[in-house]
Structure 1
């Protein structure tokens, strides 16, 4: 009889970042991030396969290095931060390379697949065991009710529907 022991890992937010990229007028890319987030992993093995990942980000912490744009993103045109203060993700499966889970934004949950790179585990100078991951995926913002749109005089879409998600996360073994 095998004795499985679950290990909990929490996000080390000083060594992690959550970013997104979206095309602006289809000619340039705007990068944004969330400055406040939390997450954890529950695993029963060393390679994290079939581990359970959960994550949330505070919408009010969105940052694109432009105050007016950030304010617009927090408005009901996009995230509706007042009514929906967080976005969240909960994994359903993880095979070591792909993670499938439910992403919830603005009260709408959709299944997403994230390409995953497990960068390994190491012990830091303070004796803490840490694990590093890179996650990448793409969503349609309109699937989540982020439908604001505008068209330039020349007919270009101002904000693309496709949004790239890129997360570099380091977890600390608890």
Structure 2
């Protein structure tokens, strides 16, 4: 069977995250510049090869000072580590529409295996005749696992920035000719 390449449609995708601030509210952010590809056998997504990268310089939390701090050596160290990457080692169907993705997430030069549930929307054709597929990924990581350790203690106890990062990723891919 022929392999099929799928490229990300950045107009209809979003790479989002949330982190607790002062232990009681969430600060949301996203990456504005990223790339992802999927390679499948025909239109079968089981065992698809999936790769993703995001430009650290494109991190956006709607606050320029905070974004600059995130790009600094305190967090992502964008100068030395300009991209975060993910390469799937497994993409398997759990049941209709539900998949599980496993792979290596590399941030700041540190690679760790992660596992996330994936909602697979199925394959559809848009009004212009393009074959599309959608994936929704939600999961959690601990930022300290990748050396993103900066924090500040609060006078009232606790810390300024939570360790848990919640991911909210919406991906739309277009089948390549």
TM-score, length-scaled by structure 2 = 0.94
Q: For 1:136 and 1:146, how far apart are their aligned partners in 2?
A: 20
Point out 4+ residue stretches in structure 1 off by more than 6 angstroms: none
Matched, 1:13 2:13: no
Give the match for residue 26 of structure 2.
29
Q: For 1:146 and 1:36, how far apart are their aligned partners in 2?
A: 21
Q: 1:165 Cα deviation (Å)? A: 1.2
Q: How many residues align?
A: 171
Q: 1:46 Cα deviation (Å)? A: 2.8
Q: 1:110 Cα deviation (Å)? A: 0.2
Q: CA RMSD in A?
A: 0.8
Q: 1:124 Cα deviation (Å)? A: 1.1
Q: For 1:101 and 1:152, how far apart are their aligned partners in 2?
A: 35
Q: For 1:104 and 1:139, how far apart are their aligned partners in 2?
A: 12
Q: 1:65 Cα deviation (Å)? A: 0.5
Matched, 1:111 2:113: yes
Please, which moves more after superposition, 120-129 or 61-70? 120-129
Give the match for residue 102 of structure 1.
104
Q: For 1:6 and 1:28, how far apart are their aligned partners in 2?
A: 45
SS of equivalent residue, structure 1 residue 72: helix
TM-score, length-scaled by structure 1 = 0.96
Alignment of 1:20-169 (within 5 A): 20-96=17-93, 97-169=99-171
Q: Which runs of 5+ in 1 are unaligned?
A: none
Q: Which runs of 5+ in 2 are unaligned?
A: 94-98
